[in-house]
């Protein structure tokens, strides 16, 4: 254990299997790949290494494709109409449309009916669009709505163009959102440079970030390419620090969608977001919220001992444990251990240095003696000159 930097006591070990939620403090010390995390148990005669595997609280998606038939495709001066019949009465909440057209901005209405005689509004004046040019390649053509259950659906596209609908997919989506740590408020520095808005996001500490949410205060439509970068390292120069960033992801900010951006879980303290404005006015960025997946260790305990979570060691490697291959045999309901406070691990042979003089009276006494000695020698030198 003394080869690691920090330890945290694990309290409440009573069963063979337990879960441990990594505290945010550990991200200050661990390697970017999280390979230097171990669990050790200390007994009177031995030190036990506890096997574990790491999991992240990612969202759970369930998508069911609903079979259907296209009954008719007609148009008049009001627009184009597409009518569908489901093979069986099912609940749906999304229709994905795929057009051969590019560079369009249309409004769509969606209706449902039990008998094709009386129609009920599901979506009205719903916008779909496609933008393809040298700066961006963006489309938003999915109709999303609350759960609906009709045998017949009718899509109306209000446009003077001829929509070329290549395909449609009718879905029932079920999404279980993941749990997140919401990190403390961060410091934002926003600058405009070469038609780009550059947002420097400086977190309070180093965290494992997996989601960014941008609060944008704009009343007009926008579609802007976004580059997300994270700090790799920094170099001190005569002019200050030079920061080296690496591109993590590229996305598109759009007024049609919530600007919630999922990124690969990344251990960092500084982000840089670059919004390409082209010839448009810059967007008003009010806030950037940062969140991270909850990192959970599932561990197997076999003996009574005093157990600790330890981390902070370079170099180190990923541990190889058998339990990574038997996850299906692990019980479902596993209790979560409580954690003690983070503690520094004293290195073997390390001498903890303290102040030379713990009592300030000694320091003042020495200063007084020095002053008196200086005064004495000064007087002696003056007498010799006389």
**Predicted TM-score (pTM) of this structure:** 0.77
What is the spatial distance between Cα 359 and Cα 74, in angstroms, rounded to a whole number?
95
What is the structure's pLDDT at 386? Answer: 57
Q: Do strands 137-140 and 119-132 pair parallel, antiparallel, or not at all (unpaired)?
A: antiparallel
What is the structure's pLDDT at 348? Answer: 66
Tens digits of per-residue pLDDT, 9-37?
999 999 999 999 999 999 999 998 999 99
Of all residues in the chain, what percent carry a pLDDT higher than 90?
Answer: 71
Window from 6-10, 354-358, 375-379 with minimum mean pLDDT: 354-358
Q: Do strands 142-148 and 52-56 pair parallel, antiparallel, or not at all (unpaired)?
A: unpaired
Tens digits of per-residue pLDDT, 184-203?
878 999 999 999 999 999 99
Tens digits of per-residue pLDDT, 277-303?
999 999 999 999 999 999 999 999 999
What is the spatial distance between Cα 339 and Cα 8, in angstroms, rounded to a whole number?
6
What is the spatial distance between Cα 169 and Cα 148, in angstroms, rounded to a whole number?
15
What is the spatial distance between Cα 268 and Cα 28, in angstroms, rounded to a whole number?
9
Q: Which residues 6+ apart lie within 8 Å of 263 measured at CB?
A: 209, 210, 211, 212, 228, 248, 249
What is the spatial distance between Cα 135 and Cα 124, in angstroms, rounded to a whole number?
30
Find the mean pLDDT for residues 59-85. Answer: 92
User: With bands split at pLDDT 50, 70 and 90, how would you rate the model's confidence at 354?
Assistant: low
């Amino acid at each position: 254990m003394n080869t690691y930097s920090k330890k945290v006591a694990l309290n409440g070990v009573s069963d063979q299997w337990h879960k441990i939620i990594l505290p945010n403090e550990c991200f200050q010390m661990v390697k970017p790949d999280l390979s230097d995390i171990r669990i050790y148990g200390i007994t009177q005669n031995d030190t036990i290494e506890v096997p574990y595997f790491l999991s992240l609280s990612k969202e759970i998606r369930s998508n069911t494709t609903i079979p259907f038939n296209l009954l008719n495709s007609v148009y008049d001066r009001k627009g184009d109409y597409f009518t569908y019949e489901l093979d069986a009465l099912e609940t749906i909440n999304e229709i994905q449309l795929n057009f051969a057209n590019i560079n369009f901005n249309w409004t769509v209405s969606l209706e449902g009916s039990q008998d094709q005689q009386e129609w009920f509004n599901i979506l009205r004046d719903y916008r779909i669009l496609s933008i393809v040019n040298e700066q961006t390649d963006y489309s938003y053509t999915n109709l999303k709505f609350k759960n609906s259950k009709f045998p017949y659906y009718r899509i109306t596209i209000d446009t003077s163009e001829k929509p070329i609908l290549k395909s449609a997919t009718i879905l029932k989506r079920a999404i279980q959102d993941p749990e997140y740590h919401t990190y403390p408020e961060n410091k934002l520095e926003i600058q405009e440079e070469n038609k780009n808005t550059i947002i420097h996001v400086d977190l309070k500490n180093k965290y494992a970030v997996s989601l960014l949410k941008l609060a944008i205060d704009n009343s007009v439509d926008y579609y802007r390419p976004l580059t997300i970068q994270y700090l790799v390292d920094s170099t001190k120069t005569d002019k200050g620090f030079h920061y080296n960033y690496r591109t993590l992801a590229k996305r598109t900010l759009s007024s049609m969608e919530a600007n919630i951006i999922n990124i690969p879980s990344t251990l960092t303290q500084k982000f840089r977001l670059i919004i390409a404005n082209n010839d448009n006015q810059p967007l008003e960025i009010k806030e950037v919220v940062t969140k991270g997946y909850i990192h959970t260790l599932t561990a197997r305990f076999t003996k009574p001992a005093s157990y600790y979570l330890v981390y902070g060691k370079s170099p180190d490697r990923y541990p190889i444990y058998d339990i990574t291959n038997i996850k299906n045999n692990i019980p479902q309901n596993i209790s979560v251990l409580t954690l003690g406070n983070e503690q520094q691990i004293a290195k073997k042979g390390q001498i903890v240095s303290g102040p030379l003089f713990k009592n300030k009276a000694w320091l003042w006494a020495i200063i007084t003696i020095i002053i008196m000695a200086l005064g004495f020698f000064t007087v002696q030198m003056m007498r010799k000159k006389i």
